[in-house]
Structure 1
Protein backbone atom coordinates (compact mmCIF):
# COMPACT_ATOMS: atom_id res chain seq x y z
CA UNK A 1 0.00 0.00 0.00
CA UNK A 2 1.55 3.30 -1.10
CA UNK A 3 1.75 6.37 1.14
CA UNK A 4 -0.30 9.43 0.25
CA UNK A 5 1.42 12.00 -1.95
CA UNK A 6 1.09 14.78 0.64
CA UNK A 7 2.84 12.60 3.27
CA UNK A 8 5.73 11.92 0.90
CA UNK A 9 6.00 15.63 0.11
CA UNK A 10 6.04 16.55 3.80
CA UNK A 11 8.76 14.00 4.52
CA UNK A 12 10.92 15.31 1.69
CA UNK A 13 10.48 18.89 2.88
CA UNK A 14 11.40 17.90 6.45
CA UNK A 15 14.49 16.08 5.20
CA UNK A 16 15.53 19.08 3.11
CA UNK A 17 14.89 21.41 6.06
CA UNK A 18 16.96 19.23 8.41
CA UNK A 19 19.79 19.04 5.89
CA UNK A 20 19.78 22.83 5.49
CA UNK A 21 19.72 23.24 9.25
CA UNK A 22 22.69 20.90 9.67
CA UNK A 23 24.64 22.81 7.02
CA UNK A 24 23.82 26.09 8.76
CA UNK A 25 24.94 24.71 12.14
CA UNK A 26 28.16 23.38 10.63
CA UNK A 27 28.83 26.73 8.98
CA UNK A 28 28.19 28.58 12.25
CA UNK A 29 30.39 26.15 14.16
CA UNK A 30 33.16 26.48 11.59
CA UNK A 31 32.95 30.26 11.76
CA UNK A 32 32.99 30.22 15.57
CA UNK A 33 35.99 27.92 15.87
CA UNK A 34 37.81 29.82 13.13
CA UNK A 35 37.30 33.05 15.06
CA UNK A 36 38.44 31.42 18.32
CA UNK A 37 41.53 29.99 16.61
CA UNK A 38 42.51 33.35 15.12
CA UNK A 39 41.87 35.08 18.45
CA UNK A 40 44.00 32.57 20.39
CA UNK A 41 46.83 32.86 17.85
CA UNK A 42 46.62 36.66 18.09
CA UNK A 43 46.85 36.50 21.90
CA UNK A 44 49.60 33.89 22.06
CA UNK A 45 51.78 35.23 19.24
CA UNK A 46 53.59 37.89 21.37
CA UNK A 47 54.28 35.38 24.14
CA UNK A 48 55.54 32.72 21.70
CA UNK A 49 57.75 35.28 19.94
CA UNK A 50 59.15 36.42 23.30
CA UNK A 51 59.84 32.81 24.28
CA UNK A 52 61.65 32.06 21.00
CA UNK A 53 63.65 35.28 21.20
CA UNK A 54 64.82 34.46 24.72
CA UNK A 55 66.63 31.37 23.37
CA UNK A 56 68.44 33.24 20.59
CA UNK A 57 72.06 34.24 20.88
CA UNK A 58 73.21 37.77 20.08
CA UNK A 59 74.24 36.95 16.51
CA UNK A 60 71.01 35.07 15.79
CA UNK A 61 68.91 37.78 17.37
CA UNK A 62 70.10 40.49 14.97
CA UNK A 63 70.68 38.25 11.95
CA UNK A 64 69.57 39.41 8.49
CA UNK A 65 67.37 37.97 7.12
CA UNK A 66 65.38 37.42 10.27
CA UNK A 67 65.41 33.96 11.86
CA UNK A 68 62.19 32.83 13.49
CA UNK A 69 63.54 29.76 15.27
CA UNK A 70 66.61 29.80 17.54
CA UNK A 71 69.24 27.77 15.72
CA UNK A 72 70.87 26.55 17.82
CA UNK A 73 68.90 27.31 21.04
CA UNK A 74 71.00 29.11 23.63
CA UNK A 75 70.64 29.73 27.37
CA UNK A 76 73.02 32.68 27.16
CA UNK A 77 70.31 35.26 27.89
CA UNK A 78 69.04 33.41 30.97
CA UNK A 79 72.58 33.05 32.29
CA UNK A 80 73.16 36.78 31.90
CA UNK A 81 69.86 37.60 33.60
CA UNK A 82 70.45 35.41 36.65
CA UNK A 83 74.02 36.67 36.90
CA UNK A 84 72.62 40.11 37.77
CA UNK A 85 72.28 40.67 41.51
CA UNK A 86 69.76 43.40 40.81
CA UNK A 87 67.41 41.02 39.03
CA UNK A 88 67.63 38.38 41.74
CA UNK A 89 66.81 41.05 44.30
CA UNK A 90 63.95 42.21 42.09
CA UNK A 91 62.40 38.73 42.02
CA UNK A 92 62.62 38.53 45.81
CA UNK A 93 61.11 42.00 46.20
CA UNK A 94 58.22 41.16 43.89
CA UNK A 95 57.54 37.96 45.81
CA UNK A 96 57.57 39.78 49.16
CA UNK A 97 55.33 42.62 48.01
CA UNK A 98 52.85 40.44 46.12
CA UNK A 99 52.60 37.85 48.90
CA UNK A 100 52.19 40.47 51.63
CA UNK A 101 49.57 42.44 49.72
CA UNK A 102 47.67 39.25 48.90
CA UNK A 103 47.72 38.03 52.51
CA UNK A 104 46.59 41.36 53.97
CA UNK A 105 43.85 41.79 51.36
CA UNK A 106 42.56 38.26 51.99
CA UNK A 107 42.39 38.75 55.76
CA UNK A 108 40.63 42.11 55.60
CA UNK A 109 38.57 41.27 52.52
CA UNK A 110 37.26 37.99 53.96
CA UNK A 111 35.78 39.69 57.02
CA UNK A 112 34.41 42.61 54.99
CA UNK A 113 32.84 40.33 52.39
CA UNK A 114 31.32 38.08 55.06
CA UNK A 115 29.81 41.06 56.86
CA UNK A 116 28.37 42.49 53.64
CA UNK A 117 26.97 39.10 52.61
CA UNK A 118 25.31 38.31 55.94
CA UNK A 119 24.27 41.67 57.37
CA UNK A 120 21.35 43.69 56.06
CA UNK A 121 21.86 47.42 56.47
CA UNK A 122 20.87 50.58 54.59
CA UNK A 123 23.21 51.51 51.75
CA UNK A 124 24.53 47.99 51.24
CA UNK A 125 24.37 48.17 47.44
CA UNK A 126 25.85 51.67 47.50
CA UNK A 127 28.76 50.38 49.57
CA UNK A 128 29.46 47.63 47.04
CA UNK A 129 29.30 50.18 44.22
CA UNK A 130 31.73 52.40 46.14
CA UNK A 131 34.11 49.48 46.59
CA UNK A 132 33.98 48.80 42.85
CA UNK A 133 34.60 52.49 42.11
CA UNK A 134 37.79 52.36 44.21
CA UNK A 135 39.04 49.44 42.12
CA UNK A 136 38.38 51.42 38.94
CA UNK A 137 40.14 54.56 40.21
CA UNK A 138 43.28 55.30 38.15
CA UNK A 139 46.46 54.97 40.15
CA UNK A 140 48.15 57.78 38.24
CA UNK A 141 45.68 60.23 39.81
CA UNK A 142 46.99 59.60 43.34
CA UNK A 143 50.65 58.89 42.62
CA UNK A 144 51.74 62.50 43.34
CA UNK A 145 50.04 62.92 46.74
CA UNK A 146 51.11 59.43 47.79
CA UNK A 147 54.73 60.15 46.90
CA UNK A 148 54.75 63.35 48.95
CA UNK A 149 53.12 61.61 51.91
CA UNK A 150 55.39 58.56 51.82
CA UNK A 151 58.42 60.80 51.42
CA UNK A 152 57.36 62.78 54.49
CA UNK A 153 56.92 59.56 56.45
CA UNK A 154 60.24 58.15 55.25
CA UNK A 155 58.58 55.22 53.50
CA UNK A 156 60.21 55.60 50.09
CA UNK A 157 62.41 52.59 49.27
CA UNK A 158 60.36 50.68 51.84
CA UNK A 159 58.18 47.64 51.20
CA UNK A 160 55.24 49.37 52.89
CA UNK A 161 55.23 52.00 50.13
CA UNK A 162 54.27 49.23 47.69
CA UNK A 163 52.22 46.97 49.95
CA UNK A 164 49.78 49.67 51.09
CA UNK A 165 48.81 50.93 47.59
CA UNK A 166 48.56 47.35 46.34
CA UNK A 167 46.22 46.48 49.19
CA UNK A 168 44.12 49.52 48.34
CA UNK A 169 43.55 48.35 44.78
CA UNK A 170 43.39 44.59 45.41
CA UNK A 171 41.05 44.75 48.40
CA UNK A 172 37.98 45.71 46.29
CA UNK A 173 38.62 42.73 44.00
CA UNK A 174 38.75 40.46 47.03
CA UNK A 175 35.58 41.92 48.57
CA UNK A 176 33.57 41.60 45.36
CA UNK A 177 34.73 38.05 44.68
CA UNK A 178 34.12 36.77 48.20
CA UNK A 179 30.85 38.64 48.77
CA UNK A 180 29.25 36.77 45.88
CA UNK A 181 30.68 33.50 47.18
CA UNK A 182 29.60 33.99 50.82
CA UNK A 183 26.09 34.96 49.71
CA UNK A 184 25.58 31.51 48.18
CA UNK A 185 26.68 29.53 51.24
CA UNK A 186 23.67 28.05 53.12
CA UNK A 187 23.07 30.10 56.25
CA UNK A 188 21.49 27.06 57.95
CA UNK A 189 24.97 25.65 58.57
CA UNK A 190 25.97 28.77 60.46
CA UNK A 191 22.74 28.76 62.46
CA UNK A 192 23.36 25.13 63.45
CA UNK A 193 26.86 26.01 64.61
CA UNK A 194 25.51 28.92 66.67
CA UNK A 195 22.94 26.61 68.28
CA UNK A 196 25.77 24.22 69.20
CA UNK A 197 27.48 27.02 71.08
CA UNK A 198 29.94 28.45 68.54
CA UNK A 199 30.59 32.16 68.62
CA UNK A 200 30.40 34.23 65.46
CA UNK A 201 34.18 34.06 65.06
CA UNK A 202 34.28 30.29 65.67
CA UNK A 203 31.50 29.83 63.14
CA UNK A 204 33.48 31.81 60.60
CA UNK A 205 36.78 29.94 60.81
CA UNK A 206 35.34 26.47 61.55
CA UNK A 207 32.36 26.41 59.17
CA UNK A 208 32.43 29.29 56.70
CA UNK A 209 36.16 29.45 55.92
CA UNK A 210 36.52 25.77 54.88
CA UNK A 211 33.42 25.99 52.67
CA UNK A 212 34.69 29.22 51.11
CA UNK A 213 38.14 27.78 50.31
CA UNK A 214 37.57 27.69 46.50
CA UNK A 215 36.49 31.33 46.48
CA UNK A 216 39.34 32.41 48.76
CA UNK A 217 41.83 30.52 46.61
CA UNK A 218 40.49 32.17 43.46
CA UNK A 219 40.70 35.61 45.05
CA UNK A 220 44.27 34.89 46.18
CA UNK A 221 45.35 34.02 42.64
CA UNK A 222 43.75 37.17 41.19
CA UNK A 223 45.23 39.40 43.89
CA UNK A 224 48.70 37.91 43.55
CA UNK A 225 48.71 38.38 39.77
CA UNK A 226 47.58 42.00 40.16
CA UNK A 227 50.26 42.79 42.75
CA UNK A 228 53.00 40.87 40.89
CA UNK A 229 52.41 42.83 37.68
CA UNK A 230 52.22 46.26 39.33
CA UNK A 231 54.61 48.79 37.79
CA UNK A 232 53.55 52.40 38.45
CA UNK A 233 53.97 52.54 42.24
CA UNK A 234 57.14 50.44 42.17
CA UNK A 235 58.67 52.73 39.55
CA UNK A 236 57.81 55.85 41.56
CA UNK A 237 58.46 54.86 45.17
CA UNK A 238 61.56 52.70 44.73
CA UNK A 239 64.89 54.10 43.55
CA UNK A 240 67.50 51.91 45.24
CA UNK A 241 68.65 49.03 42.98
CA UNK A 242 68.08 46.41 45.68
CA UNK A 243 64.49 47.59 46.22
CA UNK A 244 63.23 47.42 42.64
CA UNK A 245 60.56 44.91 41.69
CA UNK A 246 60.91 42.61 38.70
CA UNK A 247 58.73 44.67 36.35
CA UNK A 248 60.77 47.81 37.02
CA UNK A 249 64.09 45.95 36.81
CA UNK A 250 63.24 44.76 33.30
CA UNK A 251 62.37 48.29 32.22
CA UNK A 252 65.81 49.46 33.37
CA UNK A 253 67.86 46.86 31.53
CA UNK A 254 70.68 48.51 29.60
CA UNK A 255 73.15 47.13 27.13
CA UNK A 256 76.89 47.10 27.60
CA UNK A 257 77.52 49.27 24.55
CA UNK A 258 75.71 51.38 21.99
CA UNK A 259 75.42 48.46 19.59
CA UNK A 260 73.27 46.68 22.15
CA UNK A 261 71.63 49.62 23.87
CA UNK A 262 68.51 47.56 24.40
CA UNK A 263 69.49 43.94 25.18
CA UNK A 264 66.37 42.35 23.78
CA UNK A 265 67.61 38.85 24.46
CA UNK A 266 68.03 39.53 28.17
CA UNK A 267 64.78 41.51 28.31
CA UNK A 268 62.80 38.66 26.77
CA UNK A 269 64.48 36.10 29.03
CA UNK A 270 63.64 38.16 32.11
CA UNK A 271 60.06 38.59 30.86
CA UNK A 272 59.69 34.82 30.56
CA UNK A 273 61.14 34.33 34.04
CA UNK A 274 58.63 36.64 35.73
CA UNK A 275 55.70 35.46 33.59
CA UNK A 276 56.29 31.72 33.88
CA UNK A 277 55.30 31.41 37.58
CA UNK A 278 51.93 33.04 36.88
CA UNK A 279 51.29 30.83 33.85
CA UNK A 280 52.21 27.67 35.76
CA UNK A 281 50.06 28.75 38.70
CA UNK A 282 47.01 29.31 36.51
CA UNK A 283 47.51 26.06 34.58
CA UNK A 284 47.88 24.00 37.75
CA UNK A 285 44.89 25.51 39.52
CA UNK A 286 42.63 26.46 36.62
CA UNK A 287 39.85 24.13 37.79
CA UNK A 288 39.79 25.70 41.22
CA UNK A 289 39.86 29.17 39.70
CA UNK A 290 36.91 28.39 37.42
CA UNK A 291 34.92 26.73 40.21
CA UNK A 292 35.63 29.65 42.51
CA UNK A 293 34.54 32.21 39.93
CA UNK A 294 31.34 30.36 38.99
CA UNK A 295 30.29 29.17 42.45
CA UNK A 296 29.17 32.62 43.53
CA UNK A 297 27.16 33.10 40.36
CA UNK A 298 25.04 29.92 40.58
CA UNK A 299 21.96 29.82 42.75
CA UNK A 300 21.34 26.86 45.04
Structure 2
Protein backbone atom coordinates (compact mmCIF):
# COMPACT_ATOMS: atom_id res chain seq x y z
CA UNK A 1 0.00 0.00 0.00
CA UNK A 2 1.05 3.55 -0.61
CA UNK A 3 1.70 6.00 2.22
CA UNK A 4 -1.63 7.69 1.56
CA UNK A 5 -3.53 4.40 1.78
CA UNK A 6 -1.76 3.45 5.02
CA UNK A 7 -2.63 6.85 6.48
CA UNK A 8 -6.31 6.42 5.66
CA UNK A 9 -6.28 2.89 7.14
CA UNK A 10 -4.74 4.23 10.35
CA UNK A 11 -7.30 7.05 10.54
CA UNK A 12 -10.17 4.64 9.94
CA UNK A 13 -8.84 2.24 12.58
CA UNK A 14 -8.44 5.00 15.16
CA UNK A 15 -11.97 6.28 14.50
CA UNK A 16 -13.43 2.78 14.95
CA UNK A 17 -11.48 2.17 18.16
CA UNK A 18 -12.53 5.52 19.63
CA UNK A 19 -16.16 4.87 18.63
CA UNK A 20 -16.12 1.45 20.32
CA UNK A 21 -14.25 2.47 23.48
CA UNK A 22 -15.98 5.80 24.15
CA UNK A 23 -19.05 4.26 25.90
CA UNK A 24 -16.74 2.22 28.14
CA UNK A 25 -14.66 5.30 28.95
CA UNK A 26 -17.84 7.24 29.73
CA UNK A 27 -19.07 4.56 32.14
CA UNK A 28 -15.64 4.48 33.78
CA UNK A 29 -15.79 8.24 34.22
CA UNK A 30 -19.29 8.06 35.73
CA UNK A 31 -18.13 5.48 38.25
CA UNK A 32 -15.70 8.01 39.75
CA UNK A 33 -18.15 10.92 39.96
CA UNK A 34 -19.88 12.04 43.11
CA UNK A 35 -23.67 12.20 43.30
CA UNK A 36 -23.62 15.98 42.94
CA UNK A 37 -21.25 15.73 39.99
CA UNK A 38 -23.40 13.34 37.96
CA UNK A 39 -25.38 16.23 36.45
CA UNK A 40 -22.10 17.66 35.16
CA UNK A 41 -21.91 17.00 31.44
CA UNK A 42 -18.13 17.13 31.39
CA UNK A 43 -16.39 13.91 30.46
CA UNK A 44 -14.01 13.80 33.41
CA UNK A 45 -15.32 14.16 36.97
CA UNK A 46 -14.52 17.42 38.73
CA UNK A 47 -13.88 15.47 41.94
CA UNK A 48 -12.61 11.89 41.81
CA UNK A 49 -14.09 9.54 44.40
CA UNK A 50 -14.25 5.83 45.25
CA UNK A 51 -17.64 6.28 46.89
CA UNK A 52 -19.55 4.34 44.23
CA UNK A 53 -17.21 1.35 44.47
CA UNK A 54 -17.45 1.40 48.26
CA UNK A 55 -21.24 1.42 47.98
CA UNK A 56 -21.40 -1.80 45.95
CA UNK A 57 -18.52 -3.63 47.64
CA UNK A 58 -18.88 -2.71 51.31
CA UNK A 59 -21.82 -0.31 51.52
CA UNK A 60 -25.58 -0.46 51.22
CA UNK A 61 -25.59 -2.15 47.81
CA UNK A 62 -23.11 -4.89 48.72
CA UNK A 63 -25.89 -7.24 49.87
CA UNK A 64 -27.38 -7.01 46.38
CA UNK A 65 -24.25 -6.90 44.23
CA UNK A 66 -21.83 -9.42 45.81
CA UNK A 67 -24.28 -12.40 45.92
CA UNK A 68 -25.27 -11.59 42.33
CA UNK A 69 -21.60 -11.58 41.28
CA UNK A 70 -21.11 -14.98 42.91
CA UNK A 71 -24.24 -16.32 41.23
CA UNK A 72 -23.16 -15.06 37.81
CA UNK A 73 -19.74 -16.69 38.07
CA UNK A 74 -21.12 -20.01 39.25
CA UNK A 75 -24.08 -20.24 36.89
CA UNK A 76 -22.18 -19.06 33.81
CA UNK A 77 -19.21 -21.35 34.42
CA UNK A 78 -21.44 -24.40 34.87
CA UNK A 79 -23.55 -23.51 31.82
CA UNK A 80 -20.40 -22.95 29.75
CA UNK A 81 -18.88 -26.29 30.81
CA UNK A 82 -22.04 -28.26 30.03
CA UNK A 83 -22.47 -26.43 26.74
CA UNK A 84 -18.89 -27.14 25.64
CA UNK A 85 -19.11 -30.84 26.52
CA UNK A 86 -22.45 -31.38 24.76
CA UNK A 87 -21.52 -29.31 21.72
CA UNK A 88 -18.20 -31.15 21.42
CA UNK A 89 -19.95 -34.50 21.00
CA UNK A 90 -22.61 -33.01 18.73
CA UNK A 91 -20.05 -31.23 16.55
CA UNK A 92 -17.94 -34.39 16.26
CA UNK A 93 -20.97 -36.38 15.10
CA UNK A 94 -21.96 -33.69 12.60
CA UNK A 95 -18.43 -33.34 11.21
CA UNK A 96 -17.44 -37.01 11.13
CA UNK A 97 -20.57 -39.13 10.75
CA UNK A 98 -23.13 -39.44 7.98
CA UNK A 99 -26.65 -39.89 9.28
CA UNK A 100 -30.12 -38.77 8.23
CA UNK A 101 -31.10 -35.31 9.43
CA UNK A 102 -27.59 -33.96 9.95
CA UNK A 103 -28.34 -30.72 8.14
CA UNK A 104 -31.65 -30.48 9.97
CA UNK A 105 -29.80 -30.44 13.30
CA UNK A 106 -27.68 -27.46 12.27
CA UNK A 107 -30.74 -25.69 10.91
CA UNK A 108 -32.66 -26.35 14.11
CA UNK A 109 -29.75 -25.07 16.20
CA UNK A 110 -29.70 -21.86 14.17
CA UNK A 111 -33.47 -21.49 14.54
CA UNK A 112 -33.20 -21.87 18.31
CA UNK A 113 -30.42 -19.27 18.39
CA UNK A 114 -32.55 -16.63 16.66
CA UNK A 115 -35.73 -17.48 18.58
CA UNK A 116 -36.80 -14.48 20.73
CA UNK A 117 -36.07 -15.15 24.39
CA UNK A 118 -38.88 -12.96 25.65
CA UNK A 119 -41.49 -15.23 24.02
CA UNK A 120 -40.60 -18.24 26.20
CA UNK A 121 -39.92 -16.44 29.48
CA UNK A 122 -43.57 -16.52 30.62
CA UNK A 123 -44.09 -20.28 29.96
CA UNK A 124 -40.78 -21.01 31.68
CA UNK A 125 -41.78 -18.84 34.63
CA UNK A 126 -44.99 -20.83 35.14
CA UNK A 127 -43.30 -24.20 34.56
CA UNK A 128 -40.38 -23.47 36.87
CA UNK A 129 -42.71 -22.42 39.70
CA UNK A 130 -44.66 -25.66 39.36
CA UNK A 131 -41.65 -28.01 39.40
CA UNK A 132 -39.53 -26.07 41.92
CA UNK A 133 -36.81 -24.65 39.68
CA UNK A 134 -37.82 -21.02 40.09
CA UNK A 135 -35.13 -18.88 41.74
CA UNK A 136 -32.50 -21.65 41.64
CA UNK A 137 -29.21 -22.15 39.85
CA UNK A 138 -30.51 -25.06 37.70
CA UNK A 139 -33.46 -22.85 36.80
CA UNK A 140 -31.05 -20.49 35.05
CA UNK A 141 -28.46 -22.99 33.84
CA UNK A 142 -31.01 -24.91 31.76
CA UNK A 143 -32.32 -21.83 29.89
CA UNK A 144 -28.76 -20.59 29.41
CA UNK A 145 -27.99 -23.80 27.54
CA UNK A 146 -30.62 -22.82 24.98
CA UNK A 147 -28.59 -19.63 24.40
CA UNK A 148 -25.11 -21.14 24.38
CA UNK A 149 -25.57 -24.57 22.76
CA UNK A 150 -26.56 -23.41 19.23
CA UNK A 151 -23.59 -21.10 18.73
CA UNK A 152 -21.32 -23.66 20.39
CA UNK A 153 -22.41 -26.42 18.01
CA UNK A 154 -21.93 -24.18 14.99
CA UNK A 155 -18.50 -23.00 16.08
CA UNK A 156 -17.18 -26.43 17.03
CA UNK A 157 -18.59 -28.23 13.98
CA UNK A 158 -16.79 -25.75 11.71
CA UNK A 159 -13.56 -26.42 13.58
CA UNK A 160 -13.91 -30.21 13.66
CA UNK A 161 -14.28 -30.26 9.89
CA UNK A 162 -10.75 -28.85 9.56
CA UNK A 163 -9.11 -31.60 11.64
CA UNK A 164 -7.60 -34.22 9.27
CA UNK A 165 -9.57 -37.45 9.32
CA UNK A 166 -6.34 -39.40 8.69
CA UNK A 167 -5.01 -38.59 12.17
CA UNK A 168 -7.94 -40.32 13.83
CA UNK A 169 -7.64 -43.27 11.46
CA UNK A 170 -3.93 -43.57 12.24
CA UNK A 171 -4.69 -43.72 15.97
CA UNK A 172 -7.25 -46.46 15.37
CA UNK A 173 -4.76 -48.41 13.24
CA UNK A 174 -2.34 -48.26 16.19
CA UNK A 175 -4.95 -49.95 18.35
CA UNK A 176 -6.90 -47.05 19.83
CA UNK A 177 -10.65 -47.34 20.15
CA UNK A 178 -12.97 -44.68 18.76
CA UNK A 179 -13.32 -43.11 22.21
CA UNK A 180 -9.54 -43.16 22.81
CA UNK A 181 -8.87 -41.60 19.42
CA UNK A 182 -11.43 -38.90 20.16
CA UNK A 183 -10.11 -38.19 23.66
CA UNK A 184 -6.35 -38.39 22.98
CA UNK A 185 -6.13 -37.12 19.39
CA UNK A 186 -9.17 -35.09 18.39
CA UNK A 187 -9.80 -33.20 21.63
CA UNK A 188 -6.18 -31.91 21.99
CA UNK A 189 -6.21 -30.77 18.36
CA UNK A 190 -9.56 -29.08 18.93
CA UNK A 191 -8.36 -27.17 22.01
CA UNK A 192 -8.29 -23.73 20.26
CA UNK A 193 -11.84 -24.26 19.03
CA UNK A 194 -12.97 -25.40 22.48
CA UNK A 195 -11.47 -22.30 24.08
CA UNK A 196 -13.11 -20.06 21.50
CA UNK A 197 -16.47 -21.72 22.03
CA UNK A 198 -16.15 -21.54 25.81
CA UNK A 199 -15.37 -17.81 25.76
CA UNK A 200 -18.28 -17.03 23.43
CA UNK A 201 -20.69 -19.18 25.45
CA UNK A 202 -19.53 -17.56 28.70
CA UNK A 203 -20.09 -14.08 27.26
CA UNK A 204 -23.61 -14.96 26.12
CA UNK A 205 -24.58 -16.37 29.51
CA UNK A 206 -22.83 -13.57 31.41
CA UNK A 207 -24.74 -10.83 29.56
CA UNK A 208 -28.21 -12.36 29.78
CA UNK A 209 -30.84 -10.15 31.39
CA UNK A 210 -34.24 -11.54 30.38
CA UNK A 211 -33.89 -14.93 32.09
CA UNK A 212 -32.11 -13.46 35.09
CA UNK A 213 -34.77 -10.88 35.88
CA UNK A 214 -37.75 -13.15 35.11
CA UNK A 215 -36.73 -16.48 36.67
CA UNK A 216 -35.35 -15.17 39.98
CA UNK A 217 -36.81 -13.18 42.85
CA UNK A 218 -34.13 -13.21 45.57
CA UNK A 219 -30.35 -13.03 45.85
CA UNK A 220 -30.21 -16.83 46.03
CA UNK A 221 -29.84 -17.12 42.24
CA UNK A 222 -30.16 -13.60 40.81
CA UNK A 223 -27.27 -12.80 38.39
CA UNK A 224 -25.49 -9.47 38.02
CA UNK A 225 -27.40 -8.03 35.02
CA UNK A 226 -30.69 -8.52 36.87
CA UNK A 227 -29.23 -7.12 40.09
CA UNK A 228 -28.11 -3.94 38.32
CA UNK A 229 -31.70 -3.26 37.35
CA UNK A 230 -32.73 -3.36 41.00
CA UNK A 231 -30.23 -0.82 42.32
CA UNK A 232 -31.86 2.09 44.14
CA UNK A 233 -30.59 5.47 45.24
CA UNK A 234 -30.51 6.99 48.70
CA UNK A 235 -34.05 8.26 48.07
CA UNK A 236 -36.82 7.72 45.56
CA UNK A 237 -35.79 10.91 43.77
CA UNK A 238 -32.15 9.87 43.30
CA UNK A 239 -30.92 7.61 40.50
CA UNK A 240 -28.06 5.23 41.41
CA UNK A 241 -26.17 6.09 38.23
CA UNK A 242 -22.74 6.12 39.85
CA UNK A 243 -23.25 2.80 41.63
CA UNK A 244 -24.54 1.15 38.45
CA UNK A 245 -21.56 2.49 36.50
CA UNK A 246 -19.14 1.16 39.13
CA UNK A 247 -20.85 -2.25 39.07
CA UNK A 248 -20.72 -2.28 35.27
CA UNK A 249 -16.97 -1.62 35.38
CA UNK A 250 -16.40 -4.47 37.86
CA UNK A 251 -18.57 -6.84 35.81
CA UNK A 252 -16.61 -5.98 32.66
CA UNK A 253 -13.23 -6.79 34.26
CA UNK A 254 -13.61 -10.63 34.13
CA UNK A 255 -14.55 -10.45 30.46
CA UNK A 256 -11.51 -8.31 29.61
CA UNK A 257 -9.20 -10.55 31.63
CA UNK A 258 -10.48 -13.69 29.90
CA UNK A 259 -9.98 -12.15 26.46
CA UNK A 260 -6.45 -10.99 27.29
CA UNK A 261 -5.44 -14.38 28.74
CA UNK A 262 -6.89 -16.51 25.94
CA UNK A 263 -6.46 -14.04 23.08
CA UNK A 264 -4.16 -16.23 21.02
CA UNK A 265 -6.31 -19.32 21.47
CA UNK A 266 -9.44 -17.38 20.53
CA UNK A 267 -7.86 -16.03 17.34
CA UNK A 268 -6.45 -19.47 16.48
CA UNK A 269 -9.84 -21.08 17.03
CA UNK A 270 -11.70 -18.55 14.92
CA UNK A 271 -9.21 -18.65 12.04
CA UNK A 272 -8.77 -22.44 12.04
CA UNK A 273 -12.51 -22.97 12.08
CA UNK A 274 -13.21 -20.45 9.36
CA UNK A 275 -10.40 -20.98 6.86
CA UNK A 276 -10.26 -24.02 4.63
CA UNK A 277 -6.77 -25.55 4.97
Query: TM-score, normalised on structure 1?
Result: 0.86
Equivalent position to 2:265, from 274, 288, 295: 288
Equivalent position to 2:42, from 45, 63, 67: 67
Equivalent position to 1:80, from 52, 55, 58: 55
Aligned length: 274
CA deviations over 1:243-290 (Å, ceiling 9, x no partner): 211111111100111442x11111100000101110121122222111
Match of 1:40 in 2: 17
Unmatched tracts of structure 1, length 5 or more:
1-21
Q: What is the CA-CA distance between 1:167 and the residue it aligns to?
A: 0.6
Task: Tell me if 1:212 matches 2:190.
Answer: yes
Equivalent position to 2:74, from 96, 113, 116: 96
Match of 2:275 in 1: 298
Give the distance between the partners of 1:111 and 1:68, measured in 2 at CA: 49
Match of 1:189 in 2: 167
Match of 2:34 in 1: 57
Q: What is the CA-CA distance between 1:41 and the residue it aligns to?
A: 1.5
Give the distance between the partners of 2:116 and 2:3, measured in 1 at CA: 45
Verify the 8 A CA contact 1:58 1:265 in the aligned structure 2: yes
Unmatched tracts of structure 2, length 5 or more:
none
CA RMSD of aligned residues (A): 1.6
Equivalent position to 1:119, from 97, 113, 122: 97
CA deviations over 1:134-192 (Å, ceiling 9, x no partner): 11111111112111111110110111111001011211111111111111111111111
Give the distance between the partners of 1:143 and 1:258, measured in 2 at CA: 29
Moved more, 76-85 or 38-47: 38-47
Give the distance between the partners of 2:63 and 2:236, measured in 1 at CA: 23
